[in-house]
Amino acid sequence: MAYFSKNKVFHKWRRLKLLFRRLDFAQIFPMLGLISIGILFIYGTGQQTGDPTALHFWEKQLGWAGLGICVWTFLTFSNYRSLRYWAIPVYIICIVLLLYVLSSHGLKIYGAKRWLQVFSIRIQPSEFAKFAVLLLVSWLLSMKFFNANKFTTLALLAIIAGIPFFLIFKQPDLGSSLVLIPTVAVILFVANLNWKFIVFFALLGIAVVPAAYPFLSHYQKERILVFLDPERDPRNRGWNQLQSELAVGSGGMTGKGFMQGTQNTLGFIPKTVSNTDFIFSVIAEETGFIGSASIVILYVMLIFSALRTAIMARDEFGRYLSVGIAAIFFTHSVINIGMSIRIMPVTGIPLPLISYGGSFMITSLIYLGILQSIYAHRKTTFFSESD
């Protein structure tokens, strides 16, 4: 009996070593790099502003990153196929939480109800709702009887994405709700959506965008108008983006040095956004073009690793999850950097793994943990289906 027990332990250890060898370090290096950069500059912005609360934000971010890496590790060494059984429960829970946020229990900050207060922790359910939609859509389309080119399938997916889209939009959080569109669209494209549907949805989108304008809240309309006309309200609605653009431009090639940026130190970039939505402009001012380009390269590596994992995935479920995750990181990084350099309107979308915030840090590492699991299982089944 002792022999068989030792033999079983040996085989388990051998499988674990084999799994370690199959980790995707093209993902791990940029992931750790971006997290480190985020914590470093969250620390810097806190020191520069001198705000007693902001001084400790980097410690909280470090804690969120540590918790996220624990979740990442668990998912990395798990079988991603088991997520199929959680797709519907996770989606239902997220819808309930979004409804709860819109009720009187939601925490209202700067005119928006986006958070739930759980003891001393703020949770943003919209970030988890993105994951829920990604998981459910990927699972459904991986089933043989769910054909992406059937009207019933498209209608069902529209409902699945539409419910959280509407609830997030009502918070109001237009930026987070819009992320759902490219996520589902990319998965459908990979699922061999017919070109006639692609053209139809593209034309529908072009028609819906102007038609949806009257339904936007006042501040959302103002953001769009200020983006189109920078001189419309430079001291109010356009202030953050104008100062962000100045910060990026003043960084030059090598930057002014860590914690030497004047736009943040002197308060031109408000402390409420210098470590969240506009942290890229702080980094650009202090590290210049070289630092900014390095961050872009890290995101390219991360997205490349997701797309490579999609190509190598052993099944459709893994493939759809991978491209959906790539779409989420691409959308967030492009929009956030774009609004910092004034090529996109301000939407309040955080920069993945860098911006301050626990919910998005946790969900980002959930995505990357799932990617690692898909990559590890690309050739050999390390765990049985029952695991």
Residue 64, pLDDT above cutoff 60: yes
Q: Could you tell me where the DSSP H helices lie in 213-315?
A: 218-228, 239-250, 262-265, 279-312
Mention every residue, 6+ apart, whose C-beta is less than 8 A from residue 63: none
Closest CA to 220 of 183, 264, 177: 177
Closest CA to 350 of 49, 64, 50: 64
Question: In 3-state terms, the chain is what percent helix, strand and coil (to 5)?
Answer: 70, 5, 25
Residue 35, pLDDT above cutoff 60: yes
Split at pLDDT 50, 70, 90, the class of 291 is very high
Helix 57-76 / helix 25-49 crossing angle, nearest 10 deg? 170
Identify each DSSP E strand in the chain by its residue range. Answer: 107-109, 112-118, 121-123
Q: Are 265 and 336 in contact (CB under 8 A)?
A: no
Q: What is the pLDDT of residue 387?
A: 39
* Greater model confidence, 296 or 23: 296
Q: Are 311 and 323 in contact (CB under 8 A)?
A: no
Mention every residue, 6+ apart, whose C-beta is less than 8 A from residue 156: 140
Map tokens 């090529």 to a residue. Answer: 343
* Greater model confidence, 267 or 3: 267
Split at pLDDT 50, 70, 90, the class of 138 is very high
pLDDT digits (tens, 9 = 90+) for 353-375: 999 999 999 999 999 999 999 99
Cis peptide before 172 (omega within 30 of 0): yes
Q: What is the pLDDT of residue 218?
A: 74
- Percent of the chain scoring above 70 in pLDDT: 91
Cα 203 from Cα 222, distance rounded (Å): 26
Cα 142 from Cα 177, distance rounded (Å): 24
Cα 313 from Cα 348, distance rounded (Å): 33
pLDDT digits (tens, 9 = 90+) for 159-214: 999 999 999 998 888 889 999 999 999 999 999 999 998 898 888 888 887 777 77
Cα 29 from Cα 41, distance rounded (Å): 18
Residue 152, pLDDT above cutoff 50: yes
Task: Please name the amino acid found at residue 226.
Answer: V
Burial 235-255 (b: 16+ CB within 10 A, else e): eebbebbbbbbbbbebbeeeb
Q: What is the pLDDT of residue 33?
A: 97
Work out the average pLDDT over 209-223.
Answer: 76
Tokens for 64, please give them. 């969120």
* Greater model confidence, 353 or 215: 353
Residue 58, pLDDT above cutoff 50: yes
Cα 299 from Cα 315, distance rounded (Å): 25
Mention every residue, 6+ apart, whose C-beta is less than 8 A from residue 266: none
pLDDT digits (tens, 9 = 90+) for 66-87: 999 999 999 998 999 999 999 9
What is the three-class DSSP state of 303? helix
Alpha-carbon dihedral of residues 59, 127, 134, 37, nearest 10 degrees? -30
Work out the average pLDDT over 315-344.
Answer: 94
Cα 34 from Cα 40, distance rounded (Å): 10
pLDDT digits (tens, 9 = 90+) for 247-290: 998 999 999 999 888 887 777 787 778 888 899 999 999 999 99
Cα 304 from Cα 282, distance rounded (Å): 26
Closest CA to 319 of 139, 79, 150, 89: 139
Q: Measured at the alpha carbon of residue 30, what is the angle toward residues 244 and 173, in degrees to the nearest 5?
A: 45
